[in-house]
Structure 1
Amino acid sequence: MTERWWIPSRHQDRRARLLARNRVKSALRAHFEGEGFLEVEAAALQVSPGNETHLHAFATQALTPDGQARPLYLHTSPEFALKKLLAAGERKIFDFARVFRNRESGVRHAREFVMLEWYRAEESYSALMDDCDAILRVATEAAGATTLRHGNRVADPFEAPERLSVADAFTRHAGIDLLATLDPAGLALREPLAKAAMDAGVRVADDDTWSDIFSRVMAEKVEPAIGNGRVTILCDYPLPEAALARRKPGQPQVAERFEMFACGLELANAFGELRDADEQRRRFEADMEEKARLYGERYPIDEDFLAALPLMPEASGAALGFDRLVMLLLGAPRIEDVQWTPTVEPA
């Protein structure tokens, strides 16, 4: 897109999609409220933007009255704030949150976008899979669409999503026994995965970690093959990819995490939420060590978030890229085509 999206003739060309975006947002808001959810608003400025290795934040400073600088960040997700609300006593909440991710720009990515995030206290993460199914139907009807489309790929939003474990997806699409690359406690075993990936035709560098190899197999073999014709919910992620998800009861090698894919694109990411503050701190610290190794930076840990975790009830939560969903509903070629005021990149 050219920088001057605001030229009247260009705006008129874009306007039908933007009005459809508004209809989808209104319909989803009404859907959640009809299900007994409370809409909340997370502050974008936080002491920590999140602690995932490959997510990059925008940093800023807060000045005290005497001019002292204190670091703050624009959040990459409203997750920490919304979980604090669960700890405070809320039970079913959702937020159309503006979120910010640095180093993300392109046809399917924007540095600033809207994330629809919602939580259910005292409900299993399988309930979120049902939520995703309902969201697709409600959004599709509001948009006046019949399919999800990206390029030459389509998916039927009215057909119940396929539920596929990550291990089964690796077997089906890469010929890899993923669980054989984890020890019984879920710890990563690099060499078995490296060999299996190379046998599957995936390049492996000497300094690649287990997670690096996992991500490459996902990107090259699994993600292009799922969510075509029918939406896919890819569930039961291996424990090293658990992020903020709890271990699945009776299956110590995997975590209660799923992602929803359509037309080869990720639309949503969901967890059965981890409540063990000590375990969460260990994961954050490990991820920040890896971020420092790869990118030469690390983000602070939100100590208030860790303090709130023991007060948080059992819960499940999901985050859905709203702009990307609208893009697929309308068959728009670029994510900026469905944003009212796209971010203009500096020259």
Structure 2
Amino acid sequence: MSTPSPWWSPHRHADRRPALMARNRIVAAFRAHFARADFVEVEAAALQVSPGNEAHLSAFATEALGPDGTRQPLYLHTSPEFACKKLLAAGERRIACFAQVFRNRERGPLHHPEFTMLEWYRAGADYTVLMQDCAALLALAAETAGSATLRHRGREADPCAAFERVTLAQAFAERAGIDLLATVDADGRTDRAALAAAVAAAGLRVADDDSWADLFSRVLVARIEPHLGIGRPTILCEYPVSEAALARPSPRDPRVAERFELYACGVELANAFGELTDAEEQRRRFTLEMAEKARVYGESYPLDEEFLAALAIMPEASGIALGLDRLVMLATGAPRIEDVIWTPVAGPPA
């Protein structure tokens, strides 16, 4: 098997260049779109005291050396979320951020250790407004790329079609025959034994050391995600509160949170929250997430105490993170994320 040419070889760059130029046009169109909607574009520092506190996100660690030789542990952020929410606490109302973010343990056709996250936040807005934002951006990306459809590995979605909207409870019932919310208590606690029995009955593997979250993810990946965003984009919403560490509970049902994910062509594109602003509850959730991270990976990350302090004065808001590179992939039909990144990180071919 021959080794592929490096991305900087002239013939490979020539093959990639049309998609890269489309990427530039999409970024410019998005910037203009947010400016017209009175968003302020902000920049988030990549170096943070905490890279984020979700159990299955792995960060790159480094340290800052002071003039006197003191060492301060720092991380490259996995998202600009903490910085953006501090800006909301400071008084900004509508912000957008195109951020280079860094995630370790991630490399494949849809994953890259460094990629571009587009995040935007609306103070005082319901999180359903973000669904309308997504509809506008998907249509704009396709139009800017000169494509009538989003495409990935033989699957297509019409970016201008009305979004399908499905709850996690509906998806689990229809695709796996599982009553998901029967395994979630009113206070958000989960019943691992009940979900394990349902997952086994659905014909999926159950291991003795699987947590409720492990089982939830296995069903989601195996039975649900491949069917999302086919023909038209899908909004998958109302995640159980245990699977939405930074989202507030739904006023309609305390077992679920104001969280949705956007899919097209079976690919996850965005993750949105009605933002949790209860600092003590956020601390509790982060502590649980880091305990799970320590159990699975043998490491954990510090909490950003300034973020928790800012959260206490942050206004009610909704926010969303969209994987820009993935959207460019779908708008251009590129098969791999490295095809739409100008200078991919060195490493084994994805």
Q: Does 1:223 align with 2:225?
A: yes
| AA aligned opposite 2:165 | R
Q: Structure 1: how far apart are the matches of 2:326 and 2:244?
A: 23
User: For 1:108-123, what aligned pairs fall within 5 Å after superposition?
Assistant: 108-123=110-125
Which residues of structure 2 form unaligned runs of 5+? Answer: none
User: For 1:263-302, what aligned pairs fall within 5 Å after superposition?
Assistant: 263-302=265-304
Q: Does 1:234 align with 2:236?
A: yes
CA deviations 1:254-303 (Å, max 9, x no partner) are 00000001111110000000000000000000000000000000000000
| Count of residue pairs the alignment pairs up | 347
Match of 2:46 in 1: 44
Match of 2:311 in 1: 309
When normalised by structure 1's length, the TM-score is 0.98
Q: Structure 1: how far apart are the matches of 2:254 and 2:276?
A: 14
Q: Structure 2: how far apart are the matches of 1:57 and 1:323?
A: 19
CA deviations 1:310-330 (Å, max 9, x no partner) are 111000000000000000111
Match of 2:85 in 1: 83
Q: Does 1:208 align with 2:204?
A: no
The structure with more strand, counted as a fraction of residues: 1
CA deviations 1:90-113 (Å, max 9, x no partner) are 000001100000000011100000
Q: Structure 2: how far apart are the matches of 1:318 and 1:95?
A: 11
Q: 2:327 aligns with which of 301, 309, 325?
A: 325
Q: Structure 1: how far apart are the matches of 2:49 and 2:187?
A: 33
Q: Structure 2: how far apart are the matches of 1:37 and 1:138?
A: 17
Residue 202 of structure 1: CA displacement? 1.1
Residue 3 of structure 1: CA displacement? 5.5
Match of 1:26 in 2: 28
- 3-state DSSP of counterpart to 1:233: strand
Q: 2:256 aligns with which of 254, 261, 268?
A: 254
Which residues of structure 1 form unaligned runs of 5+? Answer: none
- 3-state DSSP of counterpart to 1:252: coil
Match of 1:186 in 2: 188
Match of 2:143 in 1: 141
Match of 1:174 in 2: 176
Q: 2:75 aligns with which of 56, 73, 76?
A: 73
Q: Structure 1: how far apart are the matches of 2:137 and 2:341?
A: 20
- 3-state DSSP of counterpart to 1:259: strand
When normalised by structure 2's length, the TM-score is 0.97
Residue 7 of structure 1: CA displacement? 1.7
| AA aligned opposite 1:114 | T
Larger mean Cα displacement after TM superposition, 2-11 or 23-32: 2-11
Residue 185 of structure 1: CA displacement? 2.0
- 3-state DSSP of counterpart to 2:257: strand
Residue 346 of structure 1: CA displacement? 6.8
Q: Structure 2: how far apart are the matches of 1:321 and 1:3?
A: 26
Q: Structure 2: how far apart are the matches of 1:185 and 1:49?
A: 28
Q: Does 1:12 align with 2:14?
A: yes
Contact 2:5 2:12 survives alignment (8 Å): no
Contact 2:249 2:258 survives alignment (8 Å): yes
Q: Structure 2: how far apart are the matches of 1:155 and 1:250?
A: 31
CA deviations 1:115-157 (Å, max 9, x no partner) are 0000000000000011111110111111111111111111111
Q: Structure 1: how far apart are the matches of 2:262 and 2:348?
A: 33
- 3-state DSSP of counterpart to 1:54: coil
Q: Does 1:127 align with 2:123?
A: no
Which runs of structure 1 show a deviation greater than 4 angstroms over 4 or more consecutive aligned residues?
none
Q: Structure 2: how far apart are the matches of 1:31 and 1:284?
A: 34
User: Per the alignment, do residues 39 and 9 of structure 1 end up closer, same or farther by CA in structure 2, a change over 3 Å counting?
Assistant: same
- 3-state DSSP of counterpart to 2:107: coil
Q: 1:342 aligns with which of 336, 344, 348?
A: 344
State the percentage of identical aligned residues: 65
User: Per the alignment, do residues 344 and 3 of structure 1 end up closer, same or farther by CA in structure 2, a change over 3 Å counting?
Assistant: farther
Q: Structure 2: how far apart are the matches of 1:181 and 1:208?
A: 15
Contact 1:3 1:344 survives alignment (8 Å): no
